[in-house]
């Protein structure tokens, strides 16, 4: 027994008094003892109840059993798709009233701020998978409007793999880990995915996007978003307009390079989650503009493809995107599980003024999301979880069920009733009314012939890309197909690429060493050549900017104090921030002897974490680092990843050791130490990538 007391007092000393309770919801309340879930104060949180100090544990220990039982049930099923996600709170404001197009309350008044909760995600990987894998990203927004919740459950790519919901389980089974071996995790680069895709010509357009740099975004803050399906806006007169929804990041869309994405998965598998969290915590709030392509039936009829087909997009050059409002994400979740994990999105959560189209993928989704919440969140009352609750009054006669939190009073739980005249009643004027589209048809399982052209838009996408983007698409196909063991699958894919574009086929076949081996594939509808859509190219759209970017500064003791001060000032003036990397995390001192806080030790802060870099060790340290593999890789990778590299005078030996020609290009910039020298570096960093560097090495290959 004396030994018990000793342990207890030791732990007590280590842990402090620990007298805090964390309430069920809301902020932490200081004071008060630790309690069980029944509110019973706990006297000892270090030891279970035993018979004798070295004897068996008593079953009677209700404190132990409650604690362990709760722990055992901490996990709920992860989402079958989009399991890995990160989220934020914010608000949305419309620029001007959209009453001409829709009666949706949140799209009427520019003065009105509608709260939102946004969850970004990958699709294929499990909840613990890496952020930077090649994958589509989910972009789901819940608007808590004054007339109920509207969920815009979209992706960062404007089209999808399949045309009919009935194929979704097949698609997901094909892309997820193969069922016998349980790998690969979060990767499409394996036989079952490409087997399925190569047998589904309708997936060709989406494969082009998935193999493009869109599938390896730099940040959730730097992705476009899309509602994908055609929806309807309906105004107060009941008039309907078709609409496609777009999100545009104010910081500009940007992507990683493949080698960077691969290295980031090891260096920081939470790269996107951390980036979103840090940006918001630092007050650099991510912003997205909401845009719409609004069009009528006549326009739809003239497009040459079916607007109900989710494998097609409407080029902006044909129907422009009009920006209608802005979303600002300004608050991190308080609790990941309660909010990010338990948020329940559903494309069927619409509000008066927004309605569906007959897109067969959307129609199937309208079933799936409600169903999935029942299994994930345990029952029909998931709307009562705080993150899912509407922020407007909610009254009806639905009752009971697992985990019911609300306590509706009174004896009436039905309608019509006369016993509760003040109870909820339907409201034909304010209530949701479905657009009365007239539909006549035979009941059949069929695919409309208007969905049959699978190659034209895939070709349009290829032809809309810049050289680097095309190079990356070829490399991605070659990488993924290179992981496919079955030669016939590779040959079938090459057969499809031939219809998309001969140049694409040639590039991929050459990289695989399979020229002339493409399978013969007969398209149902021969591809057309249509005008390219320059708006699809992220490289072409990129504006020079440093907004939201991070500049990594490799420094040591003795770094030029003036240079560091100027760098900090310049970065912040351009909406960027700097992260200091030094051989040791404990800190560094500048040339004036002032302490510098180090953000990353060299070994754990590789240059893939940053958008541009500055190499600024003291002259003496540069000579030493020139023999250090981590430092050499740091600089070499920054160069390989086409980043702007500013270098302080004296640091040259390190660059030379990394094999960098100091006059390589305008992205390798001497800083000298004088204020004006940063100008050239900032101009290069704003380019985000020095594409000419990649071009030169492509030519050399």
Task: Classify residue 340 by its DSSP letter.
Answer: I
Buried (b) or exposed (e) across 525-543, using 16+ Cβ within 10 A? eebeeeebbeebbbbeebe
Residue 449 CA from chain centroid, whole number: 34
Cα separation, 235 vs 214, whole angstroms: 34
201 touches ligand HDE (CB under 6 A) = no
| Inter-axis angle of helices 502-512 and 467-482, nearest 10 | 50
Nearest distance in Å: CB 356, ligand HDE: 12
How many Å apart are CA 240 and CA 297, to the nearest integer?
10
364 forms part of the interface with ligand HDE (CB under 6 A):
yes
Does residue 311 touch ligand HDE according to CB under 6 A? Answer: no
Residue 269 structure tokens: 């598998």
Size of the site for ligand HDE (CB under 6 A): 24
- Residue from 86, 114, 121, 163 touching ligand HDE (CB under 6 A): that is 121
Distance between CA atoms of residues 652 and 664, nearest Å: 13
- Taking the CB of residue 573, how many other CB atoms lie within 10 A of it? 10
Bond before 349 cis per omega within 30 degrees? no
Work out how close the CB of 597 gets to ligand HDE at its nearest, in angstroms, rounded to a whole number: 35
- Residue of the chain from 369, 432, 435, 479 that contacts ligand HDE (CB under 6 A): 369
Site for ligand HDE in 124-143 (CB under 6 A): 138, 140
Q: For ligand HDE, which stretch binds (CB under 6 A), given 79-87, 179-187, 266-274, 607-615?
A: 79-87
Q: How far apart are CA 315 and CA 537, in angstroms?
A: 12
Nearer Cβ to ligand HDE (80/392)? 80
Q: Which of 70, 89, 91, 155 is catalytic?
A: 155
Question: Interface with ligand HDE includes 51 (CB under 6 A)?
Answer: no
116 binds ligand HDE (CB under 6 A): no
3-state helix, strand, coil in the chain (%, to 5): 35, 15, 50
Binding part of the chain for ligand HDE, among 154-162, 233-241, 404-412, 583-591 by CB under 6 A, reads 154-162
In terms of CB distance, is 288 or 691 closer to ligand HDE? 288
| Region near ligand HDE per CB under 6 A, out of 148-156, 178-186, 490-498, 656-664 | 148-156
Q: Which residues contact 438 (CB under 8 A, 6 or more apart)?
A: none
The structure tokens listed for 178 are 């193969």
DSSP string, 413-465: -SSS-SS-TTS----TTTS-----------------GGG---SHHHHHHHHHS
Q: Secondary structure of 530-565 in the HEC alphabet?
A: CCCCHHHCHHHHCCCCCCCCEEEEEECCCECHHHHH
Peptide bond into 126 cis (omega under 30): no
Is 61 or 270 the residue whose CB approaches ligand HDE more closely? 270
Contact residues for 346 (Cβ-Cβ < 8 A; gap 6+)? 151, 153, 369, 370, 373
Q: How near is the Cβ of 443 to ligand HDE at its closest, in Å?
A: 20
Q: Does residue 153 touch ligand HDE according to CB under 6 A?
A: yes
Q: Does 308 participate in binding ligand HDE (rule CB under 6 A)?
A: no
CA distances (Å), origin 551, targets 108, 222, 274, 688: 41, 16, 16, 11
Nearest distance from C-beta of residue 434 to ligand HDE, angstroms: 20
At closest approach, how far in Å is the CB of 119 from ligand HDE? 4
Residue 82 among the catalytic residues: yes
372 counts as binding ligand HDE under rule CB under 6 A: yes
**What are the phi and psi torsion angles at 5 (to 5°)?**
-60, -40
Strand runs labelled E in 309-374? 322-331, 354-355
CA–CA separation, 323 vs 328, rounded Å? Answer: 15
Q: How far is the CB of 138 from ligand HDE (least distance, A)?
A: 3
- Identify which of 287, 289, 292 has the alpha carbon closest to the alpha carbon of residue 245: 292
Contacting residue, 214, 365, 496, 600, with ligand HDE by CB under 6 A: 365
Q: Is the dihedral of CA 10, 14, 17, 20 positive or negative?
A: negative
What is the length of the chain? 701
Nearer to ligand HDE, 228 or 682 (CB): 228
| 577 Cα distance to chain centroid | 22
Regarding 333 and contact with ligand HDE (CB under 6 A), the answer is no
Q: Does 95 bind ligand HDE (CB under 6 A)?
A: no
User: How open is the CA angle 274-280-282, to the nearest 5 degrees?
Assistant: 95
- Comparing CB distances to ligand HDE, the nearer of 85 and 468 is 85
The only residue of 114, 155, 163, 545 in contact with ligand HDE, by rule CB under 6 A: 155
Beta carbon of residue 85, minimum distance to ligand HDE (angstroms, whole number): 5
Least separation in angstroms between CB 364 and ligand HDE? 4
The yes or no reply on residue 82 touching ligand HDE (CB under 6 A) is yes
Specify the residue for token string 């995107």: 321
Residue 119 as a binder of ligand HDE (CB under 6 A): the answer is yes
**Least distance in angstroms from the C-beta of 166 to ligand HDE:** 8
Nearest distance from residue 243's CB to ligand HDE, in Å?
14
Nearer to ligand HDE, 168 or 285 (CB): 168
Site for ligand HDE in 211-270 (CB under 6 A): 228
158 to 187: interface string for ligand HDE, x by CB under 6 A: --x----x--x-------------------
Residue range at the interface with ligand HDE (CB under 6 A); choices 77-85, 301-309, 463-471, 548-556: 77-85
Contacting ligand HDE (CB under 6 A), which of 85, 252, 291, 353?
85
Catalytic one among 22, 37, 47, 82? 82
Compare residues 154 and 650 and give the one whose CB is closer to ligand HDE.
154
Q: Which stretch binds ligand HDE (CB under 6 A): 35-43, 290-298, 358-366, 433-441?
A: 358-366
**Closest residue by Cα to residue 310 from 448, 165, 160, 455:** 160
Q: Which residue is nearest to ligand HDE (CB)?
A: 138
Name which position in 79, 272, 454, 498 contacts ligand HDE (CB under 6 A).
79
In whole angstroms, the minimum distance from the beta carbon of 353 to ligand HDE comes to 20
> Which residue lies nearer to ligand HDE by CB, 162 or 551?
162
CB 265 within 8 A of CB 172: no
Which segment (350-358, 368-376, 574-582, 669-677) binds ligand HDE by CB under 6 A? 368-376
Minimum distance of ligand HDE from residue 185's CB (angstroms): 17
Closest CA to 458 of 209, 246, 212, 162: 209
Q: Which is nearer to ligand HDE, 153 or 581 (CB)?
A: 153
Footprint of ligand HDE (CB under 6 A) = 79-82, 85, 119, 121, 138, 140, 153-155, 160, 165, 168, 228, 343, 345, 361, 364-365, 368-369, 372
Which residues are tagged catalytic?
82, 155
């Amino acid at each position: 027994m004396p030994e018990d007391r000793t342990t207890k007092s030791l732990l007590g000393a280590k842990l402090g008094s620990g007298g805090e309770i964390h309430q069920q919801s809301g902020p932490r309340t200081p004071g008060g003892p630790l309690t069980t879930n029944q509110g019973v104060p706990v006297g000892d949180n270090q030891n279970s109840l035993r018979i004798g100090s070295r004897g068996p544990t008593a079953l009677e220990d209700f404190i132990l059993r409650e604690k362990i039982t709760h722990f055992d049930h901490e996990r709920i099923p992860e989402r079958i798709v989009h399991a890995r996600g990160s989220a934020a709170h914010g608000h949305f404001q419309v620029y001007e009233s959209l009453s001409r197009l829709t009666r949706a309350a949140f799209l009427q008044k520019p003065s009105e701020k509608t709260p939102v909760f946004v969850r970004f995600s990958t699709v294929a990987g499990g909840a613990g998978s890496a952020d930077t894998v090649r994958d589509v990203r989910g972009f789901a927004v819940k608007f808590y409007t004054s007339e109920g919740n509207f969920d815009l459950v979209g992706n960062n790519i404007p089209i999808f793999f399949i045309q009919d919901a009935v194929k979704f389980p097949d698609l997901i089974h094909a892309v997820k880990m193969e069922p016998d071996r349980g790998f690969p995790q979060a990767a499409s680069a394996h036989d079952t995915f490409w087997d399925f895709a190569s047998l589904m010509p309708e997936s060709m357009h989406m494969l082009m996007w998935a193999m493009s740099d869109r599938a390896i975004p730099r940040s959730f803050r730097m992705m476009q978003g899309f509602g994908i399906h055609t929806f309807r806006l309906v105004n107060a007169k009941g008039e309907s307009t078709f609409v496609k929804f777009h999100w545009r990041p104010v910081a500009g869309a940007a992507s990683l390079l493949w080698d960077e994405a691969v290295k980031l998965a090891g260096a920081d598998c939470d790269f996107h989650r951390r980036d979103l969290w840090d940006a918001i915590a630092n007050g650099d709030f991510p912003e997205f503009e909401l845009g719409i392509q609004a069009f009528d039936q006549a326009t739809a009829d003239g497009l040459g493809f079916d607007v109900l087909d989710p494998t097609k997009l409407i080029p902006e050059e044909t129907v422009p995107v009009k920006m209608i409002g802005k979303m600002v994400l300004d608050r991190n979740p308080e609790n990941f599980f309660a909010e990010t994990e338990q948020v329940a999105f559903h494309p069927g959560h619409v509000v008066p003024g927004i309605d569906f189209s007959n897109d067969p993928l959307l129609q199937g989704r309208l079933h799936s999301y409600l169903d999935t919440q029942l299994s994930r969140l345990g029952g029909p009352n998931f709307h009562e979880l705080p993150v899912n609750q509407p922020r407007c009054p909610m009254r009806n006669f639905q009752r009971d069920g697992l985990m019911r939190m609300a306590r509706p009073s009174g004896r009436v739980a039905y309608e019509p009733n006369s016993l509760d005249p003040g109870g909820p009643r339907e409201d034909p004027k304010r209530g949701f009314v479905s657009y009365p589209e007239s539909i006549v048809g035979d009941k059949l399982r069929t695919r409309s012939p208007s969905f049959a052209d699978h190659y034209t838009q895939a070709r349009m996408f290829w032809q809309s890309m810049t050289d680097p983007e095309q190079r990356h698409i070829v490399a991605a196909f070659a990488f993924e197909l290179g992981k496919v063991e079955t030669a016939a699958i590779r040959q079938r894919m090459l057969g499809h690429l031939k219809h998309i574009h001969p140049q694409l086929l040639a590039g991929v076949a050459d990289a695989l060493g399979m020229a002339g081996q493409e399978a013969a594939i007969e398209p149902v509808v021969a591809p057309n050549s249509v005008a390219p859509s320059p708006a699809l190219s992220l490289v072409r759209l990129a504006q020079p900017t440093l907004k939201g970017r991070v500049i990594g500064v490799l420094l040591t003791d003795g770094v030029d104090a003036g240079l560091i001060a100027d760098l900090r000032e310049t970065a912040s003036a351009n909406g960027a921030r700097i992260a200091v990397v030094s051989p040791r995390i404990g800190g560094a001192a500048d040339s004036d002897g002032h302490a510098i806080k180090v953000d990353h030790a060299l070994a754990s802060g590789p240059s893939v974490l940053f958008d541009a870099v500055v190499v600024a060790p003291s002259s003496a340290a540069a000579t030493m680092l020139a023999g250090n593999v981590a430092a050499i890789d740091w600089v070499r990778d920054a160069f390989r990843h086409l980043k702007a590299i500013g270098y302080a005078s004296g640091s040259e030996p390190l660059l030379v050791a990394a094999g960098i020609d100091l006059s390589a290009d305008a992205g390798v910039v001497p800083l000298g130490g004088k204020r004006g020298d940063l100008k050239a570096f900032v101009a290069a960093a704003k380019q985000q990538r020095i594409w000419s560097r990649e071009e030169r090495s492509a030519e050399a290959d």
